[in-house]
Structure 1
Amino acid sequence: MMFLFAMISFVTNMAAPFGNIWGHQYPWAGMLGNLMNFAAYLFMGIPAGKMLARSGYKKTALLALVLGFVGLGVQYLSSVFGADITVFTTHVEETNYLGETLPVDLPVTLNLFVYLFGAFICGFCVCMLNTVVNPMLNILGGGGKKGNQLLQTGSSLNSLAGALTPMLVGALIGTVSSRTSMSDVAPLLFIGMAIFAVSYLIISIARIPEPGLERAKADAAAGKVTEKGKYSPWSFRHFVLGAIGIFFYVGIEIGIPAELNFYISDSSAAGAGVLVNGAAIAGAIVMVYWLLMLVGRVASGAISGKISTRVQLLVVSGLGAILVLIAIILPKDNSFDVPKFIYNPEAKTESILADVGLPTSAIEQFKANPEAFVWSEDYDNPETPEVEHINLRARLYDEAGVQHNDAAQLLDTPKLPVSAILLILCGLCTSLMWGGIFNLAVEGLGKYTEAASGIFMMLVVGGGIMPFIQHSVLTPAVGYMGSYWLVIAMLLYLFYYAVVGCKNVNKNIPVD
């Protein structure tokens, strides 16, 4: 169960960094993969809960692993099929290497829709895995503080996988350019498919407790008739408010690092000010967010036996709102140098210039005096005489998205706004929320727990809807940092839930 928790984050956290690839080709497509991933929860949440109650944890988990394998395979298929098939054409403005902004017809090709279909299938997978893992860990822990403790321990592996995924994607794609495609991240997709295959073999031979099936058999043996239709998880106010809380929470957890990823990767004036290799830097920075979630969940796993879930949720939701508020208020010029272990400008510049087509001697000449270097539009490399007349200005723009007049900045150490640190620290806060909300919302539900888990999974669709609203609606209107006001509003709702909404006021409903 702990391992399956890790796979949930591995698959989910591919969507945002993959979005950098598609967003570079189609400005409106950056969060579509994430949206499709979470939209699957809306369709699969309740069916997954019913399947869990009818077929048990093991069969539900096995089917989820098959869907995960297929979903990643379809995403890989988008790198080899459909790029030459135009579905429709849109009209956009593009800037060329001369700095000219020109209207162009942009063909939207079939491979985008192949990728989105794969992301949708992966959404079915992670929805079903979530439906299995969360109630099982809560049951194994006996509910209450111990149940939350086990959930937080399992969530630690989830955070570790979440930390590694954007870092691996960033390392594979580096600077997003017109040449970047899904084929660049194919190794990660193959690794994921292999893990799903091995997981299937392990789960198929493992013994997994089936409390729901055992209870149904015992009721049937005793001749007990199950009363249907009178009550459901929706009959419990604290569950309904908790389900809304999960909708908002997943939007918070995904929205904070996803928008930060876009912010750092954007080399324009609207972005964080990182000129080159923004995707790799963003991946490394976002990795710290997920690592802090790991730290928070390990800490929560250690203290949850002593400190109540309600108190933990109260503290982290309030602290998270304060951190995001300060991040919004701080001006962008309050910045710090990116450490060299994350990004080495000299080494990266050498790599970029080699890809542009410059020989070693010319690269050393540029490094010695970048301002005086001549970026010819008709350059002949003495080391490759068979390649004639290289347009260095165009190649530089294609490889790094940099105008030749700004090339000297390649050697500068990039800076990031201090706001990025504050948003990363929110990982400590979000780390405790999922297990806390789930634990509080299903407390006292008894036989309705499996159905409640399915409903919870349906509302995880918030992880697709809210970040999509943040990125596609609010960011164009109020900027990257302004979009985080939505995150503050959602955090304040969770604060309310911890104070008032989590109390079970329906204890008169029989749950045995």
Structure 2
Amino acid sequence: MIQKKSYALPILMMILLFGMISFVTNLAAPMGVVVKSQFQASNFLGMLGNFANFLAYLFMGIPAGKLLEKIGYKKTALLGIVVGFVGVGVQFMSGIAESFLVYLLGAFIAGFSMCILNVVVNPMLNTLGGGGRKGNQLLQVGATFNSLMGTSVPLLVGMLVGVVTSNTSIKDVNPVMFTAMGIFAVAGIVLAFVNIPEPHLNTGEVVAEKSKHSAWSFRHFVLGAIGIGVYVGVEVGVPGTMFFFLADANAGGLDAATAGTVVATYWLMMLAGRFIGASIGGKVSSKTMLVAASGIGMILTLLAIVSPSTFAVSIPVFQSSATGLSFGLASVPVNAMFLVLVGLCTSVMWGGIFNLAVEGLGKFTASASGIFMTMVVGGGILPLVQNFVADNTGYLVSYWVPFIGLAYLFYYSLIGSKNVNTDIPVD
């Protein structure tokens, strides 16, 4: 456990990396609107970039955990940064080549980077916080900056694209690609000079006896790993499908810029929720936070499904003008208002699930983080399923998919998160 010594700079770097993860990951969903227009694709195909991004987690999750044990936090993070720079670069090249397949390749490569960085950031912040409630509090702080970066992406894409037309293309969002590559470059340079503690680095010492147990031996971890996949699918699917819904002339009927501001407000709600989570994380247990968040999320999602989309409400959103950004009001279907508020609920789930799932794992924590990252592939699968449903039955009906996901998280928070394997040695 990390005690007494100050690790302010490593903590700051981990929080910055948390933001990078969100910036690149959240680029996939609004890009779906662009590729739908450019290549005349369905909602299902429009979400393939997001799927490619998360599919990388399936292949890299466990190897990334092994990398963490073998070369440590710092070198693993630097590798993730280099891979991320390449992935975003390939997506930029897809605009020049005007190739959907090249775009998917870039999203897939970027996904490897996001997986590697996630494997570093989460256990590092939890360790620096000493685990327990303080560890959860640091994770919530990191997640707050994660939301801030996530808020900026749909806003920037919407501003750059404006009204979606048949001439809209990947080239229109090149400034976002340049920004992402710039973030990677700067963070890589800074990280190279930062001293990062290595609590889980394998020093090469001979182990007398290999444990017959692993992270998979803990029921609460297995259920939590499933839960993290479900959670990421909900977090991505709710705003991603909402962007399609609002920008569809036959549904929401808003221009891409306005739709982008509404989706950005979802991420802003996550930012606000994470500020709250960070402030109370040291006093309120992860279980209590997850019970409340998943329960309220179910109610809001159900209201979005059953409410008439013909009823419009005004909600506060970012607005761009010649003088810069400001807050204003946008008229949207009432369903969108409920979905935006779901962001308050999903905001605190990641840290809560991770903290509950690794509690009591001891020496199995590093490998558990890699397994966790493998399950993040759910962030690609659930939105893809949701948009398949949207293509065939309608946007609002498709929200039964995240509703079922939230119901599972409610079960996990109440029952599945209990450690029933306390007899397994973890020292």
TM-score scaled by length of structure 2: 0.92
Give the CA deviation at 1:176. 1.3
Q: Which residue of 1 aligns with 2:6?
A: none
User: Partner amino acid for 2:74?
Assistant: K
**1:230-379 alignment, distance < 5 Å:** 230-268=212-250, 271-274=251-254, 277=255, 279-337=256-314, 342=319
Conserved? CA contact 1:273–1:415, under 8 Å: no
Matched, 1:117 2:105: yes
Which structure 1 segments of 5+ residues have no match? 84-110, 348-412
- Cα distance, 1:311 vs structure 2: 0.5
Letter in 1 for 2:85: F
Cα pair 1:281 1:343 within 8 Å, conserved: no
Question: 1:225 maps to what in 2?
Answer: 208
Determine the C-alpha separation between the residues in 1 that align with 2:317 and 2:367: 50
TM-superposed CA distance for 1:435, in Å, is: 0.4
Distance 1:445 1:453 in 2: 11
Contact 1:8-1:129 within 8 A present in 2 as well: yes
Measure how far apart 1:226 and its partner are.
4.5
- Normalising by the residue count of structure 1, what TM-score does the alignment of the two structures yield? 0.77
* Mapping of residues 115-264 of structure 1, within 5 Å: 115-213=103-201, 216-217=202-203, 220=205, 224-228=207-211, 230-264=212-246
Matched, 1:488 2:399: no
Does the C-alpha gap of structure 1 residues 210 and 339 become closer, same or farther in structure 2, counting only changes over 3 Å? closer
User: In angstroms, what is the RMSD of aligned CA positions?
Assistant: 1.7
CA deviation after TM superposition for structure 1 residue 414, in Å:
7.4
Alignment deviations for residues 366-405 of structure 1 (CA, whole Å, 9 cap, x no partner): xxxxxxxxxxxxxxxxxxxxxxxxxxxxxxxxxxxxxxxx
The yes-or-no answer on 1:502 pairing with 2:392 is no
Q: Structure 1 residues 484 and 61, CA, compared in 2 at 3 Å: closer, same or farther?
A: same
- Aligned partner of residue 480 in structure 1, secondary structure: coil
CA distance in 1, matches of 2:416, 2:139: 21
Distance 2:188 2:161 in 1: 29
Aligned counterpart, 1:428: 344
**Cα-to-partner distance string for 1:433-484 (whole Å, 9 max, x where unaligned):** 000000000000011101000000000000000000001x211222101100
- Distance, in Å, in 1 between the alignment partners of 2:190 and 2:208 is 36
Shift of 1:26: 2.9
Count matched residues.
405
Query: Which SS does the other structure have where 1:503 is aligned?
Result: coil
1:450 has 2:366 as partner? yes
Displacement of 1:224 after TM fit?
A: 4.9
Larger Rg: 1
Instruction: Identify the residue that residue 475 of structure 1 maps to in structure 2.
Output: 390
Change (3 A) 1:155 1:337: closer
Q: Is the contact between residue 246 and residue 434 of structure 1 (CA under 8 Å) also seen in structure 2? A: yes
Paired with 2:289 and 2:130, the residues of 1 have a C-alpha distance of 19
The letter for the 1-side match of 2:310 is D
Equivalent residue number for residue 67 of structure 1: 83
Structure 1 runs of 4+ with >6 Å offset: 338-341
One-letter amino acid matched to 1:432: V
In the alignment, structure 2 segments of 5+ residues that lack a partner are: 1-13, 323-328
| Per-residue deviation, residues 228-271 of structure 1 (Å, max 9, x unmatched) | 4x111100000000001001000000000001000001012xx1
% identical equivalent positions: 55
